[in-house]
Structures are given as C-alpha cells and as structure tokens.
Structure 1
C-alpha cells in the first residue's frame, strides 16, 4: 500500500512509519521543515497549505497531527491551540483530498479515549455517547472534521488509549520514577486507564488500513485495568516498589484542570470493533505489556 502519514515525528508516528515500511508498504511523511529525503513532503497545516499531489495515489492517509496534550500548562491560549492544531491539520488534509479527481480510499484520523470524558466504571464500546470536558469536546470536533472527507473516502477515527513504550510515551514522567522506585498511583488509583503497547497500536493502524472497517474504533488492549493495577504491574516487571501515591489535591494544585482530565479521570474502554474483526494483540495482557516495557 501507499500510505501518507501526517504527524509522523511523534512517538506513535515515528514507530508507525518504521513498522509500515518494514511490512513492505510505501510510506510518505508530511513534514513542516525542508524535506530531507524523497519520502518527505512539506506542508503547513497552520496556513492550510498542502499540495494535493502529495496525496495523489495514496491508498491511506493517517492523521496523527496535533499539539501535545500534556506538554504545557493548560492556559486558555494553550487549550485553544490544542483544538486549533488538530482542526487545521485535519481540514488541510480533507481539503487537499477534495481537490483530487481520485482521493485516497481511506482516512484514518486519530482521536482519543478522552472522547468519553470521565466515565467512571461504565463499559465503553464505540457506540457510547461522548462525555463532557475540554478533551472530550476536542475529540468530538476532531472526529467531525475527519468526517468531512470527500464522498467515497472510508473514514476511521481511532480513539486510542494510553500508549505504553519503553521510553515512557503517554506515561510521561511516571515511568522514569517507577524505574527509580519512587513512583506510585495517582489519586485513589481506581480510575480505569485504557492502555496499549506501542507495537500493538502500530499493528492496529496497519490492520485498519488493510480492513474495510469505518467509523470510530477503540484502540486499546482487551484487558482492562485501573491505575492501581497498571502501576503495580509495571513496578513488578521493573522489580521496584510503587509506594509513593500522589494525592489528587496535590495534583490539582500543581496541574489544575489538566490533573482531572488527564490523570484522575477514568474510561473503561472496550476494543469491541477490533475484537470482532479478529485483530491479534502482541501484548493482550497487562503482565505481557509490563514485561515488554521492562525489556524482558
């Protein structure tokens, strides 16, 4: 397949490009700097600039673009940037597709588990309603922008869980603390965190590109886990204690709204569509995932 990736410089995008090329696919990445190889094409989503020919002949476009959710404090300006960076990139891709006589057959556009907001212990399949909060609203608008793709384009919106990687990934600063033996759960630890390993999320994107699935897809492992279980499994695999629980008030004092939406909210998400389609996880259990993160 000929696949174009937007947002290929992040953790998922970098590994995804490598995975897809290793599987024999022809991969082009969209970059905002001067291209350094024939497999790169320059674009400027902030200015809605993309030559439609960059997408010509593509079987699938994968859209991972957007400012990092937890990279900076959530000022009002930053919150607007989180939304606008996603909408501008998606609109730019969709508009370029619309200017082609034969647009790409598939658009896989990233969303997130945050679509469901803080849902407590409710079981969340793809037909669940959106939740409330800043991130839920961002995901709703982000998905709607993807569905403006030209008629005939198969649109998949991937609601991804926490990505576990050996370098930390979505665990941010927590994994290095666990490696040092000074980490622990956040808040009461009973919040459900949908999770998936980096190899499995890349495999899921390839699976979706090759399938006929459309609409929302929960991208997470089949074994659910609350934060207490997740931290305990990682600490055990690393042979470290995890006694240093961080109270919710302390997180709110330091991080404000970001603490409630990123760290203390729960989503008991089920990958119903992937399971029904026969997707095979490399790390379906938390024990397997933790062992992989620990390098075992």
Structure 2
C-alpha cells in the first residue's frame, strides 16, 4: 500500500490517500465492493465496531449505521452514500459521528485488461477545531492508517483468489456458518461472487438454507450445490471434558457427518467436492517428530486422535459415491475474533508466558489462510484426502508467547505450570495446550497454495493492528 503525505485542505480538513494495486480488472474490483457484507469483511477486528444497520447498497442515498466506542463511550456513526459511478467509484459522507467532517471516496482505476488500482481518499476534520486537531490529530491519523492497511491487505488478497482460481460462480453449502471459520468463509465466498447456502440443524431451512438433518425432502436442495464445506461440531473449549461432553463432541462430528454423507451419496446430481473439517489432533502428541499427511495417526486411547479418525472415516459414504473428499486438518486458527488467540490476549497483556515448559510445538494457521486454503481445495481437482491446514512455520509454545508479547509490547514473564492447567481444565489441558504437534502443510504447498501469512509475527501484527514502525522493518 502506498500512502500520500498529509495535505490539509483549504477548509482546515486533513487528507489521507492510500493506493492498492489489485490483480483483477476494474469491473471485478468494483463488484467485490458492491456485494453485501463487504463493509463487515473489511472492518479491522481490533476496532470495536459493529454494523447496526445497512441498506446493503452503495448507491446514492443508501445508508449505514455503525456502533462503536470511543474512550469507553458508546457512539453511533451514521453515513450516507453520495456518489455512485460503476465501475469508476463511489463515495460516502458522515451524517453524524466522531468527526466534524468525513468524506470518503473509493476510486477504481484501470491499469490494463486484468489489473486495476484502488484509491481511497479520505478528507476528515476532528471536532473542536485546532484543539481537537492538536490533541487528537496524531491518534486519528494512526487509526486511519492502520485501518486502511488492514482493508487494503484483505481486499488485495481476496481479489488475488479470483485471479488465482478463475471459477464460474458456484453454489456452495456451508455448515457451522455461525462459527469462527464458517462465518468468515460465508462472507468471503459471497464477496468473491459465489452463492452461499447455509446448512442448518432446523427441521426446515429458508430459501438460502438447507436443513440437512431435518425433514428428508430438505436433502433435495443439495441437487443444485457444487461444493459442500462441513465445519459444524461442538466446540472443544469451554466446559470440562466429562464423559457426557466427550460423547457430545464425538456425536456432533462423527454421527452428523456420517448422516450428511449418506444423504449426499444418494443424490442424483451430487456436489463435485465435499470438504470436511478435521484437526491436527489426529496425529496425537508426537513431541519433536515432524508430521505431514503421510504420517500415522495417533493412538486409539487418545481422545482427540480417536475422534478425528472416526470423523474422517465418517466421510466414507461420500467418497465411495465418487464425491471428491477433502479432510481439512486444522491447526490452531488465529483470529482475535475467537478461538485460541482471543483467549490468549488477556493473559499476554498481563505478561503471561509459556504453558508448561513451553517446549511443545504449536502448528498454527491465520484465519485468512484457512479461508484461502478452502477456496484452493474447492478449485483444485487434484486435492483430495487429508490436507494439513497449518502454516509452513510451526513454533514452540514459549516462542509463540514471546512473539505475542513483543507485538503487544509486554514481556512474556509469567508461565502457567502444567499442574495449574490440569487442575483448571483437566484432560483438555494435555490434549489442546500441552501436546506437541509439529505439523507441515505438505499437500497445500505441493498443490500450489500461496500462504498469506507464513510468519507468526506478521500474522499477529496484522490481526491486532500493531504494524511495524519504520525502525522496526526487517531488512530483506
């Protein structure tokens, strides 16, 4: 991203301009921004902002209301679109909110037949005149810079998927659509131009839903589906793993998956690909051993390994019916919106450190790569069977803690002893936090997937809005 220097306008406003080259043509870039959900997709996760109302349009007169907090005070930001000229651009202004003046113009410039440039131009003015500018000008500028660094990275990488995987618009059914991965996946797929149908556990689904475990006639809706992404399952974290909870974890994955696959196998027009979630826990605690998709799975007396093995076996009806089947063996998925990273932020901010001795290997993947790799699996016919969804660079837990602390400007000083974790979490502590998984993404790399984030520190800085200062840049 290339940002122009600040240039105050004649009315005392400040001007911020940011440019981002895109790997698609001008019309495709504009269409991405026009689709429902784009604003939510491009809102940085560290900003305390939610979309309260949206007309789901960028045409002139359409409105959006955001809820946010500034210094702990709740505030609504109301904006209205005032210019709409596809595929050249659109613009919005603030009707009420934190700024005395805000005018944001999005322009799309053609570079050649398959490349374009997004130019964001924001003219803004803080309240209280020169006092507001003196006291809050620097903070406002840094906030805007961080926000557009995030927005342009997401936009660039999402549109790169269109360039890398030039598919016709597909109909894709997704289960677990309210979860961390599922919710973000549905949003991304919609913005990439695909139709998403959410798989629900209700008796009957709406027009854009499929009640896969409801009334038998609901399965007929799969007749028009090109791909199924099955992510549903009872969360592993939360309650202690009592025998009852462990059975619920197993049933939600194994039995529900088998029933879904049996239904898909009976269809006259079957989806071309079935992608089912799995986990690196299938390998069991393996210490220093380097693992890939050809490695043996864990022992049957290991709870997570056993459940994951049964989970993958439950997909057999789909595979035997000729549906290309992919098992996405997820590592630790990183996003501040949920999952492990969200749980680790508070301890890290109070100087929390390694878990146990910290020697255990953690195989992680950025949420954005989890989404991109799913698109890769949908679009790449040669990908099938187990696929490790992890970054190419696993890291020891103690180094993970140090890296997170460095990004947050906090020392990772206070360890969490094994006995304390086991006392608090029971069996979950050993299987999820203390076990060692040194897993590599052999299948993704060999099939040509390009990772967005292979370096942990870059990933954390991106998600937490802690971009490197010029003096922090690492020489090439």
Normalising by structure 1, we get a TM-score of 0.94
Structure 1 counterpart of 2:315: 146
What are the within-5 Å matches in structure 2 for residues 17-166 of structure 1?
17-33=186-202, 38-44=207-213, 51-132=218-299, 133-149=302-318, 150-166=320-336
In the TM superposition, residue 283 of structure 1 has moved relative to its aligned partner by 0.9
Deviations 1:54-112 (A, max 9, x none): 21121110111110011211000111111011112212211221221121111100000
Structure 1 counterpart of 2:339: 169
Structure 2 counterpart of 1:263: 433
> Within 1, Cα distance between the matches of 2:178 and 2:247?
22
> Within 2, Cα distance between the matches of 1:52 and 1:85?
19
Structure showing greater radius of gyration is 2
Larger RCO, structure (CA 8 Å, separation 6 or more):
1
Please identify, of 270-279 and 94-103, the stretch whose mean Cα deviation from structure 2 is larger. Answer: 94-103
SS at match of 1:28: strand
> Within 2, Cα distance between the matches of 1:262 and 1:170?
10
In the TM superposition, residue 167 of structure 1 has moved relative to its aligned partner by 2.4
> Within 1, Cα distance between the matches of 2:363 and 2:428?
18
Q: Conserved in 1, the CA contact under 8 Å of 2:212 and 2:260?
A: no
- 7 and 76 in structure 1: CA distance in 2 versus 1, 3 angstrom threshold: same
> Within 1, Cα distance between the matches of 2:460 and 2:281?
23
Please point out which of 210, 225, 238 is paired with 2:408.
238
Would you say how many aligned residue pairs link Structure 1 and Structure 2? 293
> Within 2, Cα distance between the matches of 1:116 and 1:189?
19
Deviations 1:14-36 (A, max 9, x none): 00111111111111111234889
Q: Conserved in 2, the CA contact under 8 Å of 1:55 and 1:96?
A: no
- 50 and 89 in structure 1: CA distance in 2 versus 1, 3 angstrom threshold: farther
Structure 2 unmatched runs, 5+: 1-169, 468-476
SS at match of 1:148: helix
Give RMSD over aligned pairs. 1.8
- 159 and 290 in structure 1: CA distance in 2 versus 1, 3 angstrom threshold: same
In the TM superposition, residue 137 of structure 1 has moved relative to its aligned partner by 0.1
> Within 2, Cα distance between the matches of 1:14 and 1:199?
12
> Within 1, Cα distance between the matches of 2:437 and 2:176?
25
Please identify, of 249-258 and 193-202, the stretch whose mean Cα deviation from structure 2 is larger. Answer: 249-258
Please identify, of 232-241 and 270-279, the stretch whose mean Cα deviation from structure 2 is larger. Answer: 232-241
Structure with greater strand percent: 2
SS at match of 1:259: helix
Normalising by structure 2, we get a TM-score of 0.59
Structure 1 unmatched runs, 5+: none
